[in-house]
Structure 1
Amino acid sequence: MEQLDATVVNTAIPSIALSLGVTPLSLKSVVTSYILGLAVGIPVSGWMADRFGTRRVFLIAIGIFTLASVLCGLAPNAQMMTAARLLQGLGGAMMMPVGRLAIVRTFPKSELLGAMNFVIIPALIGPLLGPTVGGLMVHWTSWRAIFFINVPFGLIAMYLVWRHMPDYHGDERRPLDVLGLILFSSGTAILSWLLEIFGEHTQSVPTMILLLAVSVGLLAAYAWHASRIKFPLLRLALLKVRTFRISVVGGFVTRLGVGGLPFLLPLLYQLGLGLPAWQSGLLMMPSAAAAMGMKLIAPKVLARFGYRQVLVFNTLFIGLTIALYGLVGRETPLAAIVCISLMQGFFNSLQFSSMNTLAYADIEAGDTSMASTISSSFQQLSMSFGLAAGSLVTAWFLGRVPQTNQVLVTGALHHAFWALAVMTVLSAAIFWRLRRKDGDSISRGRAVAKEAEPVAQ
């Protein structure tokens, strides 16, 4: 539901704006409010799961998301739509970290990679079908149907969660760090919002600088506060665990390049190649399809080569595929574009599977909730930074190029792709700091266990 909604809503923005009597640009708040909901809700999700149990929190999260979907479908104006999307973001914020936490606590590390990939494959149906399904639903029915369709799926999911989901609680009852929640959530919410509106000139430069300073100040105040109390909202000391730190920081830097692709590719296809929106949407599907295929073989690849080799060389391959988009023009065969898209989805999928599971390689069982929350928080920020980086690079190269001149627009976008490719390749230096056997407890867990058996005997 979450992945499908994210892609479908973007497709339906023009129809929603027409129905509510506003301009499409003014509905940017519909997208940013969801991001703000995520920024505020993710940091507290781990504490809630430890305190109230994974089953109850996940059940409530789906309920909030489904209720908010109904409110979105009933929204009579842009203000109510924005408020409902904010509520939907809060529900979505608890779904991902708590769901991941339940998986980490259910499966041993040797089975974690396969279990996570098994769960992620259905989620990839969202970006695979989202643009096409959204376009068809808006064309044949109403934009309100894209929200109402969540109701039956939400009810089924709630029933399955109640009947079958394990109910894990924290090892110790820790109080909620209210001050930390205010500082961190406020800082990330302001920063995420600034990054979402970056480059749109909806705020004056002094205002943007002031808000950026406030955001950085709040986050710095949280870091100081967290170092002085026993039970912080996010225990940043976990970043001292080398594999966890490399996974989080390396993933953050990688997404600076990869995160700009959803912004740049539609511009290349529609403005540069002159394709209609529906064809542009179809060209985004091979990437999601390849990502689903990679999830099936990722465990074997990691078991054969290990995390260090995979993350270093795969990062270089991602940079190469991004650079190949810088060679796509009107004369490029459609088959070649599809091949590049397949490679991009293939390598991106392997990268995210590797980074997301490496984070738990050396984390103790009692710290999995905190690790999941920290990882999810940094992922949310990295997605916002990635979109902002894509916007900045595009604006830098497009400059005053008239969008009616396809040749100049295509050339500017080519330079933008090459810049993002260089940014992505640079993140390989972070993964280079991994050691050869890092992550073996996940990628080669069974082999490690067998070697340890004679010692135990």
Structure 2
Amino acid sequence: MDSSSTAKKYLPWLVATALFMEQLDATIVNTAVPSIAASLNVTPLSLKSVVTSYILSLAVGIPVSGWIADRFGTRRVFGSAIALFTFASVLCGLSLNAPMMVAARLLQGIGGALMMPVGRLTIVRTFPKSELLGAMNFVIIPALIGPLLGPTVGGVIVHLVSWRAIFCINVPVGLAALFLVYRYMPDYHGQERRPLDVVGLILFSSGTAILSWLLEIFGEHTLDPMTAGLMLVLSIALLGAYAWHAAQRKYPLLRLSLLRIRTFRISVLGGFLTRLGVGGMPFLLPLLYQVGLGLPAWHSGLLMMPTAAAAMGMKLIAPRVLGTFGYRQVLVVNTVCIGLTIGLFALVGPGTPTAIIIAIGLLQGFFNSLQFSSMNTLAYADVGQKDTSMASTISSSLQQLSMSFGLAAGTLITAWFLGNVPQTNQPMVASALHHAFIALSVLTIASSAVFWALKPNDGESISKGAKRRADEESTSAAQ
């Protein structure tokens, strides 16, 4: 099947189903962290390894996803990734201790590492740039049902049954996705057969793995400063060695020369810095609600719903917003708005009215949705068709790294302010989380400076086409 009308009709549903499964799994786990911690006899903050292990395996596995898709075809790789992700979900539910859970999440991350960038790559290759923003938004809208249902369904399941049951939800969704892959997934291969950069894979994966692990361990205060410093130098040296290695090879694992494309570079760099601030929020907010405010899991899940609901609503108007104001103005202003909403959570305490919490959540979902739509599509504005696989791989790799680092930074700041105080002390946990929100707010606002380098007409090949299609659809609907 090529990029025909049939592929365009069903492909967004297929990719959205896979993203729905990923997002549902992630949000359910975040909501269930306190219950899982109690069951496995560990502290809630120490369970960030369950989340970071998944993100880490994504960061390590995504760089090779483009090569695998080009070699074996998008249909086979995407289907295998969904099957592995579903199987690993079952293993998560059967885990008896934290190490087993981490191992299952690592395996799940391998499936996710292939699923996410290959799905995005297939969308980019199927739709022309004038239709790309609309297709991406359509994919994200159903996928956002995952965060909408995840906290609530996860909270109810944890409250009534057991946290183990939450991982079984992925099974029917995974089977449905496999059916769609068999029927409607386009099978794209690379235009040229390039060898796998094994040395580059070892250098890049080792550097990113050590750096992410270092941030997690340092947050637990189990490393002395000398050892931590040496590990940091080693990780930076490995990543520097990869940059040198990539410049010498004809077919590197990640072709960093694509960063010379200005819009791609700004999108990737700005997205990396922005996600440093946003990355820790899905983990920290359930802790604020359940540990800091003492709310039950189901109540915490309900408070997470407004963010996802607002994000879905924003997807419907994002093409018009970008077409009217342009990528530069939207990204500069919207990044500041995201930082401000993160900072507002520092004001949430036991006496905060529920309506205020919901309002902040709505604002966060609204701005986050517009930000990710903008950054994810701007990356391909000036990238040629033959480079879409590599561009998707680089963008996805740095995206996951930034989310991992953001999570580590958020929990590190929280643990630093909490000190040796027991994590059952609600006022102190809430205070530590408030400090983390303020720090992440400042970091996010500062990241808006990157987008000043954009030009007013950057990304018009995507935004103007999307706005024109939205206007045509509105005219047709009115008639």
Q: What is the TM-score when the length of structure 1 is the normalising length?
A: 0.90
Give the Cα–Cα distance (whole angstroms) in 2 for the partners of residues 145 and 207 of structure 1. 40
TM-fit CA distance, 1:355: 0.6
- Pick aligned residue for 1:316 from 329, 333, 336: 336
Could you say which residue in structure 2 is the equivalent of 1:370?
390
- Aligned 8 A contact 2:254 2:390 in 1: yes
CA contact (8 A) 2:31 2:286 kept: no
* Segment of structure 1 superposing worse, 63-72 or 202-211: 202-211
Matched, 1:347 2:367: yes
Q: Is the 8 A contact 2:74 2:188 kept in 1?
A: yes
Aligned partners of 1:405, 1:149: CA distance in 2, in Å?
A: 33
Listed as ranges, the gaps of 5+ residues in structure 1 are 450-457
2:270 matched residue in structure 1: 250
Identity rate, percent:
76
8 Å CA contact 2:59–2:398 kept in 1: the answer is: no
Question: What are the within-5 Å matches in structure 2 for residues 108-127 of structure 1?
Answer: 108-127=128-147
Alignment check: 8 A CA contact 1:39 1:192 kept: no
Q: Residue 23 of structure 1 aligns to which amino acid in structure 2?
A: V
Deviation at 1:395, TM superposition (A): 4.2
Instruction: Tell me what 1:417 maps to.
Output: 437
Is the deviation greater in 7-16 or in 403-412? 403-412
Counterpart in the other structure of 1:181: 201
- Judged with a 3 Å threshold, the aligned counterparts in structure 2 of structure 1 residues 170 and 344 are, in CA distance, closer, same or farther, namely same
Q: 1:64 to 1:217 in 2, by over 3 A?
A: same
Partner of 1:131: 151
CA positional deviation for 1:271: 5.1
Q: Which sits farther off after the overlay, 401-410 or 46-55?
A: 401-410
SS at 2:117's partner residue?
helix
Q: In the alignment, residue 375 of structure 1 is paired with which amino acid?
A: S
Match of 1:285 in 2: 305
Aligned to 2:376: 356
Match of 1:98 among 90, 111, 118: 118
Partner AA of 2:137 in structure 1: N
After TM superposition, give the deviation of residue 437 of structure 1 in Å.
0.3
Partner Cα separation in structure 2 for residue 274 and residue 81 of structure 1: 25
**1:454 counterpart residue number:** none
**1:438 is matched with which residue?**
458
Report 1:8-23 matches (<5 A): 8-13=28-33, 16=36, 22-23=41-42
Q: Residues 198 and 391 of structure 1 are in contact (CA less than 8 Å); yes or no, is this contact kept in structure 2?
A: no
Distance, in Å, in 2 between the alignment partners of 1:333 and 1:17 is: 28
Query: CA 1:394/1:84 → structure 2, altered by over 3 Å: closer, same or farther?
Result: closer
Report deviation, 1:430.
Answer: 0.7
Q: Does the Cα contact within 8 Å between 1:196 and 1:387 map onto a contact in 2?
A: no
Distance 1:446-1:385 versus aligned 2 partners, 3 A rule: closer
Once the two structures are overlaid, the 10-residue window that deviates more, 196-205 or 185-194, is: 196-205
Shift of 1:405: 7.3
The whole-number CA distance in structure 2 between the counterparts of 1:375 and 1:29 is 24
Q: CA deviation at 1:253?
A: 1.1
Specify the alignment match of 1:49 in structure 2.
Answer: 69
Q: SS state of the match for residue 444, structure 1? A: helix
Question: Deviation string for 1:20-79 (max 9, x for gaps)?
Answer: x65356755443432332122101000011111111110111111122223333445554
Residue 39 of structure 1 pairs with residue 51 of structure 2: no
Confirm or deny: 8 A CA contact 1:293 1:346 kept in the other structure: yes
Instruction: Note the alpha carbon deviations across 1:310-364, whole angstroms, 9 max, x for none.
Output: 0011112112222333333444322122111101110011011101110000000
**What amino acid maps onto 1:301 in structure 2?**
V
Shift of 1:3: 1.3
Alpha-carbon displacement from aligned partner over 1:360-415 (angstroms, at most 9, x marks no partner): 00000000000000001101110112112223433455557787876666555444
1:326 aligned partner: 346
Q: Distance in 2 between matches of 1:42 and 1:108?
A: 24
The residue that corresponds to 1:190 in the other structure is 210
Distance 2:50 2:432 in 1: 29
Paired residue secondary structure (1:326): helix
Root-mean-square deviation over aligned CA pairs: 2.6
For the residue of structure 1 that corresponds to 2:221, the secondary structure is coil
- Return the alpha-carbon distance in structure 2 between the equivalents of residues 37 and 404 of structure 1: 31
Question: What's the CA shift for 1:267?
Answer: 4.4
More displaced stretch, 69-78 vs 229-238: 69-78
Matches within 5 A, 1:143-292: 143-270=163-290, 272-292=292-312
Offset at residue 149 of structure 1 (A): 2.8
2: CA distance between counterparts of 1:279 and 1:191? 35
Residues of 1 paired with 2:344 and 2:200: CA distance? 44
- Once residues 388 and 382 of structure 1 are traced to their aligned partners in structure 2, the CA distance between those partners, rounded to angstroms, is 10
Q: Which moved more, 1:309-318 or 1:369-378?
A: 309-318
Report if aligned partners of 1:41, 1:90 keep a CA contact under 8 Å in 2.
Answer: yes
Contact 1:441 1:448 in 2 (8 A): no
Equivalent residue for 1:301?
Answer: 321
Q: Distance in 2 between matches of 1:11 and 1:448?
A: 40
Kindly report which structure 2 residues correspond to 1:63-82, keeping only aligned pairs within 5 A, or say none.
63-75=83-95, 78-82=98-102
Change in Cα spacing, 1:196 to 1:116, as seen in structure 2 (3 Å) is farther
Q: Decide which moves more: 328-337 or 127-136.
A: 328-337
CA distance in 1, matches of 2:365, 2:305: 9
Deviation at 1:279, TM superposition (A): 2.3
Runs of 5+ in structure 2 lacking a partner?
A: 1-20, 470-479
Report how far residue 432 of structure 1 moved: 0.8
Check the 8 A contact 2:219/2:416 in 1, yes or no: no
Counterparts of 1:74 and 1:401 in 2: how far apart (Å)? 32
